Amino acid sequence: MLKPLLSDKDLFALFRLLQEARRVVICGHRGPDGDAMGSALGWAEYLRSIGKHTTIVMPNPCPDFLRWMPGCKDVLFFSDRREQATQAVEAADLICCLDFNALSRLQDFGEVVSRSKARRLMIDHHLDPDTSMAEICISHPEMSSTSELVFRLIHQLGGFDAMTRSGAACIYTGMMTDTGGFTYASNSPEIYLIISLLLTKNIDKDKIYRNVFNNYSANRIRFMGYVLGEKLQFFPGNRASIFTITREEMKRFRYIRGDAEGWVNMPLQVRGMRLSISLREDTEKDVVRVSLRSVDDFPCNRMAEEFFNGGGHLNAAGGELPFPLEEAVRTAERAVEAYKDLLEPPTGTPVAKK
């Protein structure tokens, strides 16, 4: 049996909040990933099953490799349908904030949410939540994903029996993507109990994996080869790496949203590596998007906060820097130098060579 996520008192407060709502908007962070989409779609199915009119609004579109997810075609993307998304928020009496810990993660859409008179519920697994943003904050950074949290809540609220194959597939996708296919942040035995329960809904986990990770264009493969072959810079003594992606390169390789997903993890396959940094020019704003990944106890989140105007998890974090890219590279190099003591390998540990 799963351990209860909420106390009886907190469960009753959540139940009452949901019972009193009629029109609900669910939103996730800018650049919605598999966990933001999976948790939102899974939670939306539960809310509809208890009679709530539910709309999902995301600040901007998700990657193309997530468009297959059941229900994705009905999601409103604020950047594309501002008026309709704004109307949905204005009509809502409850806003569920999933997979983000501060309204700033919504960027322009955050202004619309902040103006709303609706009550708010936060369900999230990131560190340092802004608890003032919601009436009820369900924050568990120790959990693998927000999708895991959503499953636990649905289960504790008695909604598992009514969960459909589609809802289970969305929740599984969120858990899978936020753990890199269950290769990190996934040592809790209860994660696999949840997976076993999701499998009783007849989801095809192998197909879900293929839909997410084996669903790219030939241009994406060529682009990845170019970046890894020509752009990846190693810091052998520090066990770190940096690579950059420019707008011109994205145009050359016919980049579509999500093509660079997962590339920041690849340098960590090199023996002895502890930190990988990706710097990508944004196609919509004059900023550089920063992604950080690490292994063991290297604090990506701390580096992201200190150098990249961001944050995140211990081993996965992000942020952004103003243009130009050249200055962003210098900032990343300063960050690597500042954290060299944490990056230095123990005596006798092999390190990568150029």
pLDDT in tens, 299-341: 999 999 999 999 888 999 999 999 899 999 999 999 999 999 9
Report pLDDT for 345: 63
pLDDT in tens, 264-298: 999 999 999 999 999 999 988 899 999 999 999 99
Query: Is residue 134 predicted with pLDDT exceeding 50?
Result: yes
> Residue 331 and residue 327: Cα distance in Å, rounded?
6
Report pLDDT for 236: 77
- Range in 180-194, 223-237, 339-353 with the lowest mean pLDDT: 339-353
At 352, is the pLDDT very low, low, confident or very high (cuts 50, 70, 90)? very low
> Residue 28 and residue 277: Cα distance in Å, rounded?
24
pLDDT in tens, 67-108: 999 999 999 999 999 999 999 999 999 999 999 999 999 989
List of residues 6+ apart from 54 with CB closer than 8 A: 23, 24, 25, 26, 44, 47, 48
Locate tokens 């008695």: which residue? Answer: 158
- Residue 280's closest CA among 303, 253, 302, 301? 253
- Range in 8-12, 113-117, 232-236, 251-255 with the lowest mean pLDDT: 232-236
What average pLDDT does the structure give for the chain?
Answer: 94
DSSP character for 203?
Answer: -
With beta carbons less than 8 A apart as the criterion, state whether 215 and 251 touch.
Answer: no
Report pLDDT for 110: 95
Report pLDDT for 238: 74
Report pLDDT for 7: 97
In terms of phi and psi (left: phi > 0; alpha: psi -120 to 50; beta: otherwise), the region of 309 is: left
Domains for the chain: give ranges and CATH numbers. Answer: 8-213 (3.90.1640.10), 218-343 (3.10.310.30)
Report pLDDT for 184: 87
